[in-house]
């Protein structure tokens, strides 16, 4: 049995490629005689490069699931391939029926619900409190001057209290649920909208509502849905018009869910008070972006998932998922 592993470039300062590789080596202990072919591309490989890397592997780990890779043309070149694992939560649309006909199992890896939710909450805290701005004020002010000392405890941005406000969750998957728990812990009322109603005791503290209600009643909206043809451009001019004045928007999902020009207009008008965004439509952004030209946005580069713990957990969970598959009980199957 040959397994191909696409090990992406390490992007954290506290993690090494050797540490990640050592976790993948657990497959050698779990599957006698297995051959691991670990690839170390610089940057994410193109479809052509991936095609060559996969070769005659029985399974491949680390693929970004989209129709650029998961299509008839590429998969037909790899008759041995029966298992594909993405190391992330999300995926783009692909031909599900075609993969089923070929007998290929495709899984995702829900490794970072807490990590990503925590980062989303950090973005929300930044919009509400601008802690870094106040830290810089303290560090850079000359406090030997009496006129400065008189203003030591001033604030330079409005401070927003979340207690008693309504948090709307768009997409109540694992990440959305983790974010909802944080909101509830802050004393917020939590409402959510998902394509399918969630059932179970873990959701009892959340009011599941329709999309228009989510827009109209939320003081904070946090986006946690996948990007599909149904969800693309969901947050557009019409959606913003239905929101409360002064709503806060957080997005750690995919940039394509928001029409960025419409969000900029909503920010300029005050309809949206501020936005914390870890994702953009184009990543990396080549050229200008209207959201760069306002102090009402906090934007980072799709790094919500990048803790050392989550990176290693993704490997461990991907291995666990594959062993379940080999034992006839596949988990986290997305096709």
| Rg of the Cα atoms in the chain | 22
Mark whether 302 is an active-site residue.
yes
Q: Give ∠ CA 331-332-333 in degrees, rounded to 5.
A: 90
- Alpha-carbon span 282 to 215, nearest angstrom: 25
CA distance 7 to 271: 43
Q: How far is CA 171 from the centre of its chain?
A: 12
Active site residue 254: yes
Residue 311 known to be catalytic: no
The active-site residue out of 265, 302, 320, 324 is 302
SS3 sequence of 49-117: HHHHHHCCCCEEECCCCCCCCCCHHHHCCCCCCCEEECCCCCCCCCCHHHHHHCCCEEECCCCCHHHHH
The span from the CA of 88 to the CA of 311, in Å, is 10
- Is the preceding omega at residue 300 within 30 degrees of 0, hence cis? no
* b/e code 38-51 from CB counts within 10 Å (16+ = b): bbeeeeebeeeebb
Alpha helix stretches (DSSP H) within the chain: 17-24, 26-30, 47-54, 72-75, 96-101, 113-129, 131-140, 146-149, 174-185, 211-217, 237-242, 260-269, 308-326
CA 227, CA 171: separation in Å to the nearest integer?
A: 11
DSSP class of residue 119 equals H
Q: Which two tokens stand for residue 223?
A: 């986006």
Catalytic residue among 254, 260, 311, 313: 254
Which residue among the candidates 100, 149, 283, 293 is catalytic per the annotation? 283
Residue positions annotated with a catalytic role: 254, 283, 302
């Amino acid at each position: 049995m040959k397994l191909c592993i696409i090990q992406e470039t390490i992007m954290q300062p506290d993690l090494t490629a050797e540490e990640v590789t050592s976790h993948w080596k657990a497959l050698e202990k779990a599957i006698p005689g297995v051959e691991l072919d670990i690839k170390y591309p610089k940057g994410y490989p193109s479809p052509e490069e991936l095609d060559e890397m996969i070769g005659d592997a029985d399974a491949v780990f680390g693929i970004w699931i989209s129709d650029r890779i998961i299509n008839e043309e590429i998969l037909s070149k790899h008759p041995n391939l029966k298992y594909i694992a993405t190391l992330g939560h999300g995926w783009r649309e692909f031909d599900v029926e075609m993969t089923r006909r070929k007998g290929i199992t495709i899984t995702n890896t829900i490794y970072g619900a807490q990590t990503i939710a925590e980062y989303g909450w950090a973005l929300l805290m930044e919009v509400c409190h601008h802690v870094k701005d106040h830290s810089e004020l303290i560090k850079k002010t000359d406090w030997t001057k009496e006129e400065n000392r008189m203003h030591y405890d001033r604030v330079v941005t409005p401070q927003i209290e979340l207690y008693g406000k309504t948090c709307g969750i768009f997409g109540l998957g694992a990440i959305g649920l983790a974010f909802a728990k944080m909101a509830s812990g802050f004393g917020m009322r939590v409402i959510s909208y998902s394509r399918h109603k969630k059932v179970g005791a873990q959701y009892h503290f959340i009011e599941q509502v329709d999309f228009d209600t989510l827009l109209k009643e939320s003081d904070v909206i946090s986006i946690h849905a996948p990007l599909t043809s149904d969800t693309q451009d969901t947050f557009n001019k019409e959606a913003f018009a239905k929101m409360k004045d002064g709503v806060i928007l957080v997005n750690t999902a995919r940039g394509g869910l928001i029409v960025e020009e419409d969000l900029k207009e909503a920010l300029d008008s005050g309809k949206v008070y501020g936005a914390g965004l870890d994702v953009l439509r184009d990543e990396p952004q080549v050229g200008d972006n209207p959201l760069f030209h306002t102090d009402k946005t906090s934007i980072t580069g799709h790094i919500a998932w990048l803790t050392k713990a989550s990176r290693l957990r993704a490997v461990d969970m991907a291995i666990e998922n594959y062993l379940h598959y080999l034992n006839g009980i596949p988990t986290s199957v997305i096709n």
